[in-house]
Amino acid sequence: MGVSAAGKSTVGHLLSKALDIPFYDGDDYHPQANKDKMASGQPLNDHDRQGWLESLNALANATLQKDGCILACSALKESYREILSHRLGHRTDWVLLHGDFDLLRDRMQVRNGHFMPQSLLQSQFDTLEKPVYGLYLDVKQSPESLVNAIVNYYRQTSFGLIGLGVMGSSLARNLARKGVRLSLFNRHVPGKEEKVAEKATQTFPELADAQAFDNLEAFVLSIQRPRKIFLMINAGKAVDAVLDDLVPFLDFGDVVMDGGNSHYADTLLRMDKMGKVGVRFLGVGVSGGEEGALHGPAIMPGGDAVGYQIVKPYLRAIAAKDKHGSPCTTYVGKGGSGHFVKMVHNGMEYAEMQLLAELYQCMRFAAKMSPEAIAQVFEQALQTEAESYLLEITTRILQHRTGDVLTLDDILDQAAHKGTGNWTTVAASQLGEPATVLTAALNARYVSANKDKRVQAAQMYDFATQNAVVTDVGSILQAYQSARWIVHHQGFSLIQKAAETYHWELDFRELARIWTNGCIIRSRMMEQLAEMVDGTSILLHPNVVAYLKANKEHLKAFVLQNTAAGWPIPCFSAALDFMNAFTQAESPANLIQAQRDLFGAHGYRRKSDHAAESHHTIWTTLNKT
């Protein structure tokens, strides 16, 4: 690509011989009307170019069924390049031939028989939008030197991935299926981790053509510049150690992505650290587990905006697709925003899982329903607005048997956690944003972890639980759906508070959209949010208000019945408590402010005072009537 007279045709013909693949000159495919317009001294507009670019894209797509091709095209704008590369995946390498205006003007003066007049050269320079990706070559070099540089670039890989655990190897396979030429690296630990990358290329057919390394310098040098390197390693000190090892081998403008569950504050520090050496850093939230990584996760990149543009085609290619076919990924925002929203996603995931656990407990142990009967109820719920990925997999779990035994019944009742749920609660506290249901789900896991103490306490207290008769399954499903609306409200409200505090410019509707597929909390409710969330409180949206006004009594009845019967339902209870508090115009918080003022002289505001002044009372003087 490049402006007229950059040497695209000359270099293309020579490159065709060097690589033994066909060359097509885009100029040969201009309709005669375009040629006549340019010959008359008039530059082409976007409308003139549309059909021409589409025909070149069709040509490129056709050659992909064989050995590919080399295509010469000015490709002056990013929008033109998007048309040219439509549905080409990552079988596309861009090379910009660029040169000084005077040099190219002189070339045009001695060029014979071309429809492009010299007078249009400036208009091409004015139109050119240089890409942030690809290979830049100065045409002052000889054509042979340019070809050698392109051949070396072509033989390098286009993407690097570090860390070949379950998630890393699955993402690598996903990338390879999209035609990405990969370099793979895994650390070498004698006796524990040896030739991991090489073994991955031998184990998975998709990775057979990937280059495997356990030498970091060789790995980095194998990747095209600007390098695109994805870290899929454990969050924490390991990330900093790998970055320290990488830096000596990286060049200005390279892009490094952290795809682990790192803390958003750490991501901000790493972004600053890498920026000082000219490396663009992104914190990338990836949700979907092993299956999502392999077939299409939801991807939440935040950080360096230019770096995102460089890796955008790759992330879009491997992401899940929403119901309209658009990739479930978007640039989230600046700083640590990508990892923050992934953290909150996980906090919401905890709450959604706990709600289902409490629902299961009520139906199986309080109401004495069989697992098969519960699964049947859940299968029917999947056809309603309650549909979600977590509900779907719960239905599968309730029907899975190991021999004659329900597999679930042999699983120890201690729920583990990896830190993101804890971070969500801490962040909510730091930002002063209530996330009560999310926190209740986290605390429920903490309680479950104390298995020995729970068994001992059950024997010592011997509290009896009562049976509960579920006369209306529809009612408890409405209670469940009501609690879920409160979970989503709290999650999005926390993200909104962070955006305001850290000055992130987030698109909440777009965020909801990328959570409609690929991620763990994908659901029909999220699809509704993708069409209605706008940064205001979800519980104040007319549709949600109407739903909760009609169904709050179901939530209340569920909580009262189970609490009275002695069954712990922390998330349902927290949801009801929050709903009661959120809809209370007058709260008892004035008493708390009075108490604070009495013992600490913290002051308070008066209802009758419209100004935000602080008042203090000498409470030892009692004014009695």
* pLDDT, average across residues 363-387: 95
Kindly state the average pLDDT of the residues 321-348: 96
* The token pair that represents 35 in the structure block: 């040629």
pLDDT tier for residue 469 given thresholds of 50, 70 and 90: low
pLDDT of residue 144: 96
Of the segments 65-79, 371-385, 466-480, which one has the largest average pLDDT value? Answer: 371-385
Give the relative orientation of helices 46-63 and 32-39 as an angle to the nearest 10 degrees: 130
Q: How confident is the model at residue 237 (pLDDT cuts 50, 70, 90)?
A: very high
What is the mean pLDDT of the segment spanning 431-437? Answer: 97
Give yes or no for a contact between 334 and 554, defined as CB atoms under 8 angstroms apart: no
Strands 298-303 and 280-287: antiparallel
- The secondary structure of the chain in percent helix, strand, coil, rounded to multiples of 5, reads 55, 10, 35
Higher pLDDT, 331 or 67: 331
Task: Identify whether 129 is a catalytic site residue.
Answer: no
**319 SS3 class:** coil
* Residue 266's pLDDT band (cuts 50, 70, 90): very high
199 is catalytic: no
Please count the CA atoms within 13 angstroms of the CA of 201 that sit on its side-chain side: 17
Q: What's the rounded Cα separation, in Å, for the pair 41 and 30?
A: 16
Surface-to-core class of residue 503, CB atoms within 10 Å of its CB (0-12 exposed, 13-18 middle, 19+ buried): exposed
Query: Can you list the alpha helix ranges (DSSP code H) found in 228-336?
Result: 237-246, 264-275, 289-295, 305-318
Distance CA 36, CA 52 (A): 14
pLDDT computed for residue 625 by the predictor? 55
- Of 8, 228, 334, 342, the catalytic one is 342
Counting beta carbons within 10 angstroms of the beta carbon of residue 45, is it exposed (0 to 12), middle (13 to 18) or buried (19 or more)?
exposed
* pLDDT band at residue 64 under the 50/70/90 scheme: confident
Encode pLDDT of 585-624 as tens digits.
999 999 999 999 999 999 999 988 877 789 999 998 776 6
Domains, the chain, in order of start with CATH, read 8-154 (3.40.50.300), 156-335 (3.40.50.720), 342-582 (1.10.1040.10), 588-625 (1.20.5.320)
Please write the tens of the pLDDT for every residue from 511-559.
999 999 999 999 999 999 999 988 789 999 999 999 999 999 999 999 9
Return the pLDDT at 91: 67
Tokens encoding 429: 């506290």
Q: How long a stretch of residues is the chain? A: 625
Out of 349, 352, 358, 527, the active site residue is: 349
Spell out the alpha helix ranges (H) of 382-472: 389-397, 420-431, 436-449, 451-461
Q: Determine the pLDDT at residue 535.
A: 76
pLDDT tens-digit map of 240-262? 999 999 999 999 999 999 999 99
Lowest mean pLDDT among 16-20, 65-69, 312-316: 65-69
Alpha helices in 450-515 (DSSP H): 451-461, 473-502, 508-514
